[in-house]
Copies of this chain bind each other. A is one copy, B any other.
Amino acid sequence: MKRPTIADVAQRAGVSKGAVSYALNGQPGVSEATRQRILAIATEIGFSRSSAARALSAATAGAIGLALCRPARTLGVEPFFMALISGVEAELSSRSYALTLQVVADPDAEIAVYRRWWGERRVDGVLVCDLRTDDSRIPALEQLQLPAVVIGGPGGTGELASLWSDDAAALTETVEYLVALGHRRIARVAGLPDLRHTEIRTEAFAAVCRRLGLVDAVTVWSDYTGEEGGRATRRLLSSANRPTAVVYDNDVMAIAGLSVAQEMGLTVPGDLSIVAWDDSPLCRLVHPPLTALGRDIPAYGAHAARQLLAVVAGQPAGRVQDETPHLTPRGSTAPPRVR
């Protein structure tokens, strides 16, 4: 099947290629009647502009890039990324932008991808995930002047645009809720320590525990996998002065923690309260369903995409705050049973 070109449309319409281009782009230069006729013909013969030709002459790729830097096994299990991507996608496709995805092994590889994308003019901008402490990707992107929106912060995003949510407030609210239930020994199973949001949560956790006088507050580090989350839980629950509540940095670890508690003969929430971060459907899959900190992830992705498109269009890079995660209490939290 031969692909129709702009010349085919022009010929059919009896106008020049330039006129067709103006009509397609909604620019002045053609009368409204002509524009309508041209558009009708384009639709009729199933014409779509070559993205390559368009990119070459208009110097716009019509695509944005997302590089995911996590090992394949973590990527698969956490619903977070798919939810984010579906939101990004919804926003992009409504504006006829494509999403180019790449899985990378580490931040250096990710920088190399950005450099290549920039050189190839393959994307108009990128969405940056998993902001780290002292993140080498930030200066690299600034140097390339590749439009970018960092999903993360606040802080550590340099001159780049960013979209962040107030994890500190969410964590503080959670601890206050647990304390209100009567908990005094609260532990936290954190994600990777070099991620910026882990750091933010860790600081907030320390601050609220200090303020509320929780001396036994302990944070243990993990890597978001169920395996590690389970192991960390086993360690916490085996300690002499075991916690009566644990807050997990993602849902997968929380589910693993629940299963470890049950395996050790503890009742949830009687002996142990559990709170998960990221309220995916997984939290409602288990018994008891997990109390979780959640927010609308697809909306977050859509928001980031919209912001990136604005930056691509030349608007100044801003630091935008998204919805704060809110706590949905379910069956996994209750007052601690006296022992």
The answer to whether B255 and A120 touch across the interface, beta carbons within 8 angstroms, is no
The CA of A225 and the CA of B284, in the complex, are separated in Å by: 11
Spot the interface stretch: A42-50, A126-134, A179-187.
A42-50
The answer to whether B102 and A51 touch across the interface, beta carbons within 8 angstroms, is no
The answer to whether A285 and B259 touch across the interface, beta carbons within 8 angstroms, is yes
Contact residues in B for A48 (Cβ distance below 8 Å): 115-116, 118-120
Q: Counting CB contacts under 8 A, is A282 at the interface? A: yes
Contact residues in B for A221 (Cβ distance below 8 Å): none
Q: Counting CB contacts under 8 A, is A56 at the interface? A: yes
The CA of A315 and the CA of B94, in the complex, are separated in Å by: 35
Q: Counting CB contacts under 8 A, is A242 at the interface? A: no
* Copies of this subunit: 2
Min Cβ gap A113→B in Å is 8
The CA of A285 and the CA of B50, in the complex, are separated in Å by: 47
Contact residues in B for A81 (Cβ distance below 8 Å): 82
Interface residues contributed by chain A, number (CB under 8 Å): 68
Select from chain B the residue with minimum beta-carbon distance to A53: B56
The CA of A118 and the CA of B82, in the complex, are separated in Å by: 25
The answer to whether B77 and A282 touch across the interface, beta carbons within 8 angstroms, is yes
Which of B4, B122, B286 meets A255, CB within 8 Å? Answer: B286
Q: Counting CB contacts under 8 A, is A139 at the interface? A: no
Min Cβ gap A53→B in Å is 5
Contact residues in B for A102 (Cβ distance below 8 Å): 89, 93, 98-99
Which of B3, B56, B79 meets A119, CB within 8 Å? Answer: B3
Q: Counting CB contacts under 8 A, is A333 at the interface? A: no
Q: A76-B280, A100-B100 are in contact. List 6 more A-B contacts (CB 8 A).
A: A1-B143, A48-B115, A48-B120, A82-B82, A226-B282, A255-B286
